[in-house]
Structure 1
Amino acid sequence: MAQDAAQALLDEALQAIEQRQWPLALASLHKALALASDDAALHINLAFVLDGMGDLPTALEHLCNALDLAPDLPEVHLHLGTVLARLGSIDMAEQAYRQAIQRVPDMVAAWCNLGSLLDHTHRGAEAEACLQPDNPHARFNLACLLLREGRLQEGWQAWEQRQWPIHHAHDWRCPRWRGEPLQGKNILVVQDAGFGDMLQFSRFIPLLQTRGATHTAVLCQPPLHPLMAQLPGVHAVYRWQEADVALTTRHWDYWVPVMSLAAYLGSEAAPYGPTPPYFAPGAPPTHANLRIGIVWQGNPDFPHDAQRSIADDSVLAPLLAVPGTQWINLHKDKQPTLPQLHAVDGGLRDFADTAAVLAGLDLVVSVDTAVAHLAGALGVPCWLMLPAYMTDWRWMRERSDTPWYPSLQLFRQVSAGDWTSVVAQLMARLQAPDAAQAIRSLRRPQTSA
């Protein structure tokens, strides 16, 4: 009887998990465990829920319980690897994935996760061998690997196979654009990922008009709306909540996810698209001291935010104490503990406000967030602080520069989690005799649209 009741509760939990109703699933699984504490499947599913709720240490405890109960169950090793990787225990995560593969040699999820881990630990050839492109997740990870290595033609082809929820969010009422002629056509460009992705790939939007598009509109999240309206070649901008209005206000010949534009508008001469700035940066600053804006944390809801963000802002204290510098807090709603940081007058409501502030700065120092993309899109100098593990594909491998943004310079962790070494690199650059001149020389001049 107890086992039957536990199974019924597990069924309830699985339904809640499918709908991402974490608290409901958690409650059902706790009740089930009270009836059947030796059921490995209950511990595995509870770990999955706890992972979804951000409680990785407790998730790890339940996976260890499942491992004790069912050491030969491949799913235990697979989920154990996922949690260990998210906790930063990379070697142990790799071992867990390999244990899963040892038990089920054709376990696609384990190969996919192992390939991603190897890619993020700079073992590209080994990673590529793991990622067989007959699985959607493997194709996505393979696309990231190829783009990271600058193999754009192969990378965009794999990238185009992605099917994200946003792509199915509406009845678009027209075909998805995949490079067809645009002469006399109306096309709707849709934000399909984060703010930074939209800022990065919006460089390609003006090219739609040069290809002959009669009317180009953009559908994006509200904080981007005022900025997107400034982009050359854009005739209308709609907020995401206005999608129904956008889709009925005009006949559209095509719609296209913004991140797909590179696959069809990048050329052999300009594979990374038009050179920034593609938003007007405004006049450069003229003050004596270096005015520097800083961003030290990203969106906590991003799956890999723990790797890219600086949790303890006191690590930045020596940097902010460098003479001849004035530091501006570019976070919209985060109050720092460091007194050297000045708030933005009037606050920041959206990315147009942030762009106006960036235009008056000599330099932006940022972790991998949308503000760094905005600085690059404006041609404003930016020093980008990058993690050693889970570095995003667009920053490639080992480079200190990026073909996406000539005004950016990249500073990478020496080892995972070590922001102190990055701060030391920045301090050395700021304290160099020609620091101000070198920084200001990175600013990109505005070119005609």
Structure 2
Amino acid sequence: MQETEAVPSCEGEATQCSDADIARDTVLRSPTAESFNNMVDGLFLKGEVLEAIRLALEVVSRHPDNETLALVAATLIARYTALYDVVATLARRALKVEPDSVGAQTILADALVAGGDIAGGCALFADMMARYPGERIGLCEHMSSSLVDAGYLREGLEILTAWLQEGDASFSLANNMACILDRLGRPAEAIPWYKKAMAMEPENATATFGYSVSLLKAGNFREGWARYAQRVPLTNGVKWWFMSLPRLRPSDDVAGKRIILYQEQGLGDTLQFIRFVPYLQEKGADVTIVVPKALLRLLTQSFPGASVRLIEEFGQEVEDGYSYAAPIPDLPFIGGVMSESDIPANIPYFRADADDIAKFAAQFPASRPRIGLVWAGERRGRPELAAADRRRSTTLAMMGEAIAPVEATLVNLQFGVRHTEIAAWKGQPLFDPMGGVRDMADTAAIMKNLDLFISVDTSPLHLSGGLGCPTWLVSRWDACWRWGAEGDTSAWYPTMRVFRARERTFGPVLCEVGEALREWVKDWQPGKGA
């Protein structure tokens, strides 16, 4: 970690620096753990990943004897990235300054496990348990969390089972056991452990949310949706004025009332649950949908009876006359979904514009079938979402090698940072129309020109399903609750086929997809479903 030559400085009368430059300069020269953490964490949350890493390493390099700064840098880089070798290097650097630091050893053990060295990481955890008997339960909590986060569920289950046979469960151990069982596709077994955790910490948001999604994954919609709707809305800390309105509940009379449905969590959640708008309109509600720009045009053309507003504008100044508001993922609860049979069958509920469909059709190669691909989600700021994105995403190389060559036109629908993988792809050519895509309405128009869409668990997957297009989901090994614990169909999307990963790698399930695709292509005829 060498000091860079071009270090911005705000010293000298002739230099004009912004407040951000001054703050950065202060952190470089005289960092406190708090100021350093806040600045680097803020960069990560804004999506400035490379700048966050560069600043973190530069500060540590400038202050080599400060163990605390090295640990802050290691913690943040571990939270937001998969650079486990960098994390391990930072932890070892801290240990040179303070060899007996439990924090540094724990971060190092975490990094070893996350990087694939389970034996090394667990050996270090075991060694610490022997040397620090007063820290044993905390270290076991940490070791089991590390194994869960890295995807070593069976190993984590084995360790927790052995521990819990000898002693009582702490909140974290019970919660970790529940999480492991849920991710292993055993939600019914996870539920009692969540109950045990909640008995110890009734207000803990992590356990109560985990309990709700395990109920949903197990098919207990009645209690699951009620519990799910008790969460604090996940809006990345933003508090819009309409969030102070009464939160809409199933018993509320909405006839003649103006209500606001607003974006919460990811775009996929909105795309999945916005299907309930007609239900509210049939009850006499005047519905306003508040969403990001990416969804504005799609929802405007799909729900002509609703007012669709841009959240960045609508959220600024209070507008009178509204009676209720609800985050869009509350809608299954509001709509009374007690079982899969209660899910609205109004597929398709999205509409693609005819002119947009024709515009993209004119660009496509004539050869068919046309198969769309998405292999990764978009990187997210919040740590738990960044980790989930790493679990749900594969690479173009891995997906492409499993399904190609195939007698079909492969069409790229990958967006964001992972779109750059196309440049390095040397396999079967991909037709790439994404340069002309402005928003999800354009993506919908492209999908209407496809014969099949194959994707990991992303927002375009929900769009394809909501359009009623033939869709194949490549589900991650710890399948999201919305796809249930087993089976190859989805009650949410009748035109979807689910392929389930059973291991930490996507390799085997993608080979299964490739074999199925070659059979599908052999039998393909225009209009053929998934």
TM-score, length of structure 1 as denominator length: 0.83
Residue aligning to 2:442: 353
Residue aligning to 1:128: 191
Residue type of the partner of 1:79? Answer: H
RMSD, aligned CA: 3.6
Residue type of the partner of 2:33? Answer: E
CA pair 307-190 structure 1, distance change in 2 beyond 3 A:
same
Residue aligning to 1:422: 510
Cα shift readout 1:388-422 (whole Å, capped 9, x = no counterpart): 2x211111122100000001101112422142443
Q: How does 1:96-245 map to 2 (within 5 A)?
A: 97=160, 105-132=168-195, 133=198, 134=202, 135-166=204-235, 169-172=239-242, 173-179=244-250, 180-213=252-285, 215-232=286-303, 234-245=305-316
Cα shift readout 1:420-448 (whole Å, capped 9, x = no counterpart): 443333333432576314x83438xxxxx
Deviates more, 1:191-200 or 1:332-341: 332-341
Alignment partner of 2:412 out of 300, 306, 329? 329
Residue aligning to 2:452: 363
The answer as to whether partners of 1:190 and 1:255 remain within 8 angstroms in 2 is yes
Residue aligning to 1:92: 155
Q: Distance in 1 between matches of 2:175 and 2:168?
A: 12
Alignment partner of 1:279 out of 342, 350, 356? 350
Alignment partner of 1:262 out of 328, 332, 335? 332
The answer as to whether partners of 2:221 and 2:338 remain within 8 angstroms in 1 is no
Cα shift readout 1:21-58 (whole Å, capped 9, x = no counterpart): 57688889999994679xxxx99876643321323453
Cα shift readout 1:290-313 (whole Å, capped 9, x = no counterpart): 111110111133321222111352
Residue type of the partner of 1:85? Answer: V
Residue aligning to 1:12: 33
CA pair 98-407 structure 1, distance change in 2 beyond 3 A:
same
Q: What SS does the corresponding residue of 1:229 show, helix, strand or coil?
A: helix
Following TM superposition, by how much is the alpha carbon of 1:104 offset from its aligned partner in structure 2, in angstroms? 7.5
Q: What SS does the corresponding residue of 2:284 show, helix, strand or coil?
A: coil
Higher CA-based Rg: 2
The answer as to whether partners of 2:399 and 2:510 remain within 8 angstroms in 1 is no
Residue aligning to 2:114: none
Residue aligning to 1:52: 79
The answer as to whether partners of 2:347 and 2:466 remain within 8 angstroms in 1 is yes
Cα shift readout 1:263-320 (whole Å, capped 9, x = no counterpart): 0213568422243110125789997621111101111333212221113524423523
CA pair 217-95 structure 1, distance change in 2 beyond 3 A:
same
Residue aligning to 1:5: none
Q: Distance in 2 between matches of 1:182 and 1:391?
A: 35
Q: Distance in 1 between matches of 2:38 and 2:406?
A: 49
The answer as to whether partners of 1:216 and 1:233 remain within 8 angstroms in 2 is no
Residue type of the partner of 1:244? Answer: G
Deviates more, 1:68-77 or 1:372-381: 68-77
TM-score, length of structure 2 as denominator length: 0.71
Residue type of the partner of 1:223? Answer: A
CA pair 233-139 structure 1, distance change in 2 beyond 3 A:
farther
Residue aligning to 1:6: none
1:292 matches 2:348: no
CA pair 391-29 structure 1, distance change in 2 beyond 3 A:
farther
Q: What SS does the corresponding residue of 2:76 show, helix, strand or coil?
A: helix
Q: What SS does the corresponding residue of 1:255 show, helix, strand or coil?
A: strand
Report the number of matched residues. 426
Residue aligning to 2:11: none
Residue type of the partner of 1:218? Answer: I
Residue type of the partner of 2:377? Answer: G
Following TM superposition, by how much is the alpha carbon of 1:13 offset from its aligned partner in structure 2, in angstroms? 4.3
Residue aligning to 1:382: 471
Q: What SS does the corresponding residue of 2:504 show, helix, strand or coil?
A: coil
Q: What SS does the corresponding residue of 2:302 show, helix, strand or coil?
A: coil
Residue aligning to 1:3: none
Following TM superposition, by how much is the alpha carbon of 1:262 offset from its aligned partner in structure 2, in angstroms? 0.6
- Consecutive unaligned residues of structure 1, counting only runs of 5 or more, are 1-8, 444-449
Following TM superposition, by how much is the alpha carbon of 1:249 offset from its aligned partner in structure 2, in angstroms? 3.6
Q: Distance in 2 between matches of 1:100 and 1:228?
A: 51
Select the structure that is richer in helix: 2
CA pair 233-273 structure 1, distance change in 2 beyond 3 A:
farther
Residue aligning to 2:18: none
CA pair 15-144 structure 1, distance change in 2 beyond 3 A:
farther
Deviates more, 1:337-346 or 1:361-370: 337-346
Deviates more, 1:348-357 or 1:136-145: 136-145
Cα shift readout 1:62-110 (whole Å, capped 9, x = no counterpart): 5556764554423333233323322222233335556776798352123
Q: Distance in 1 between matches of 2:496 and 2:263?
A: 23
Q: Distance in 2 between matches of 1:104 and 1:164?
A: 36
Q: Distance in 2 between matches of 1:93 and 1:50?
A: 23
The answer as to whether partners of 1:204 and 1:265 remain within 8 angstroms in 2 is yes
Following TM superposition, by how much is the alpha carbon of 1:18 offset from its aligned partner in structure 2, in angstroms? 11
Following TM superposition, by how much is the alpha carbon of 1:156 offset from its aligned partner in structure 2, in angstroms? 0.3
Q: Distance in 1 between matches of 2:139 and 2:290?
A: 42
Residue aligning to 1:61: 108
Q: Distance in 1 between matches of 2:178 and 2:469?
A: 35
CA pair 111-25 structure 1, distance change in 2 beyond 3 A:
farther
The answer as to whether partners of 2:33 and 2:72 remain within 8 angstroms in 1 is no
Q: Distance in 1 between matches of 2:61 and 2:163?
A: 26
